[in-house]
Amino acid sequence: MLYQNQFYTDTLPAGSALSITSTGTGLVTFTSPGQITKQVSISSSTTLGPFQYDQLYRVSCLSGTINLTEVLSDAANSVATLATDSGNNVTGLVGPGGASVMTIRNGQVANRCGFSSSVYAGYKQCMNRSAHRATENLTSVKLVFGNWGMNGGTEQANDAAATIECSIEYPVDTYTRVTFSSANIGNMASGANITSDAVKVSIPKGAVFYVRNLVTSPNTTTGLYGTDNTYVHSSGAGSYLEGQKWNASYPGTDYSVSGNLVMTKGTGGTSGNNDGFNALHPLYRPLAIIAQTVNPSVLIAGDSIAMGAKDGVDTQLAAGFYERALKVGTINVARSGEQIIALMGGSNFTRRAALYQYCSHVIVAFGANDVFVASAAAATIITNINTLISTYFANFPVYVSTVIPQVTTSDAYITEANQTVKAQESVRLTLNNSIRAGGVVGAVGVFDIDQIISNSYTGGKFKTFGTGATLTTDGVHPNQLGNGYTAAQLNVGLIR
C-alpha cells in the first residue's frame, strides 16, 4: 500500500500487467529498454498492460492510497506480497522468493552543484569551500569534478591538465579526506571529469556540509574555471561562509584538509585575498555529489531565471524557485543569457547535459532570451525545445516551464498600472499557450511559472500586492520575494 507522497519502483516482466486499486490520485511512469514509453495519471482503479517488453515502472501516490498487484506472465507467480522498508519510508512489492527488487542508482543527493560558468584568466591555482545541504541521510558519497567550463557562450575545456585535492567538512572543522583511485590527489585531463572514490560520512538529511578543494593547473594559459558568484552567492548567504582564495603566487598554501582557511565576505580586494561572495573571483565546486539512492533528483537547465539570479539562498541553502521548491538533490546547469537557439547543432550543451546521468528528472526552462533578446518566433522556440529534449533527454521525464513577463516601470514595479510590457509580449503569450497545450512533445508536464507570477494569463505584468512589496527589481528576474513566492505555489509533488 502506498500513501500520499510515497513512491515505489520495480521491474515488470514482458507479457505482464499492473493492477492498481486507488482511492486517490497518482502517476505511473513506464520505461522500456532505452526510452520512456508511457506516463499514466491515476485517479481510479485500473489495469495497465500487459506489455510487450520488460518495463521499469515508478508509481507515485499524490493523494489517498494506491495498492499494486503485479499480474505476471507466469501464473505461478501471479500474486506479489507487500512489505515495508521503514528505513526509507517506502512501501513496495517484494518479488518471488521474498527478495527486494527496489531499484537503486547513483543519484544526486545534495543541492548547489553545477558547472563552472566563468574563467579567471591567468590563475593556475585556487582553494575553495562550497556549501551544500544533504537531501537525504548520507553514509557514503562520491564527488564529481570537471576540468572545463563556460567561456562566454561556449563550453570549453581547460587548455591543460589539472589536479585536485579534496575533503568533506562535516561538522565544521572536521575533515574527511576524499581520494581518487586510492590516491590523495586526483588527475583531470583537459576537458575531462573525475569521480572520487566512495567516502564514508555520517551526514543527516537537511544538514549543511562543505566541500573543500585545491585545484591546480600549472600549465594553463587560459586560467581556471569557476562559478560566477554574482548568481551563486548573496549577502543573505553570509552565515554559510562559502568562498575561495585565489593564489596570486603559485604555488600557494593547501588548506583542502585543514581548518586554517578563513572565508570572509569579500569587498572587492585584490587577487589573493579571501574573497568569499565576490563576483570577481569564481568559486570551483563539484559538478555532482552522488550516492546509492532510490530518491528522485533533478537536473535544471535554462537561463538566469532558472539559475536563481537576483535571489539569495533561503534557510534550506537553496537559491531560485525550482531549488527552493524541490527539496531534493539538484544539479543546476542553467546559464545567464542562455538562448536555446545557441544550443542547436553544436556541442555547447554536451558536457552539461551529460550530468543528467545522476538525475531522475529534468527541468527545461528556456525561452526568455529567445523571445526578448533574439526576437525568435514562438514556433521556432518550440521546435528548438523539442530538438533539445530529443537530442539529450529522450530517456528521461522532462518538465518544461512557461516564460514570465519582462516589463519596464515608472514606480519601481510597485503597481501594475505603471508597468509597461515589451514589444515581444505577443510572442511570449503565443509561446506559453503552445507550451500549455502540449506543443513540447517530449515533455511529461509543465511548470506554469507565468501563471504564478503574472497578474493574469494575458496581462503580461508582475503581480503586485498594494503593500509596496515587489516580486522583481529589474522587470526580468524574480527577486528574493519573487522566488520565494513562486516556490511556495509551485506544485512539484510528482518529483518529490
The whole-number pLDDT of residue 253 equals 65
Q: Measured over all CA atoms, what is the biggest interatomic distance in the chain, rounded to whole angstroms? A: 74
The predicted structure's pLDDT at residue 236: 39
Q: What pTM did the predictor assign?
A: 0.76
What was the pLDDT predicted at 42?
Answer: 84
pLDDT at position 255: 66
The predicted structure's pLDDT at residue 24: 84
Asked whether 164 and 213 are in contact (CB, 8 A), the reply is: yes
* pLDDT the model gives residue 45: 87
Q: How confident is the model at residue 100, as a pLDDT?
A: 28
User: Is residue 12 a contact partner of residue 53, using CB atoms and an 8 Å limit?
Assistant: no
The CA distance from 243 to 274, in Å, is: 7
Question: pLDDT tens string for the chain (496 positions)?
Answer: 777 766 677 777 777 788 888 888 888 877 654 434 456 778 888 888 777 666 777 787 878 888 888 777 543 332 232 222 222 222 222 222 222 223 567 899 999 999 988 887 778 888 788 889 999 999 999 999 999 998 878 899 999 999 999 999 999 888 899 999 999 999 999 999 999 999 999 999 999 998 988 899 999 998 888 875 433 343 333 444 566 665 555 666 666 676 554 443 333 333 333 333 333 456 789 999 999 988 889 999 999 999 998 887 777 788 899 999 998 999 999 999 999 999 998 788 999 999 999 998 999 999 999 999 999 999 999 999 999 999 999 878 899 999 999 999 999 999 999 999 999 999 999 999 999 999 999 888 899 999 999 998 888 999 999 899 999 999 999 999 999 999 998 878 656 5
**Cβ atoms within 10 Å, residue 55:** 25
Q: Specify the pLDDT at position 201.
A: 97
pLDDT value at residue 340: 95
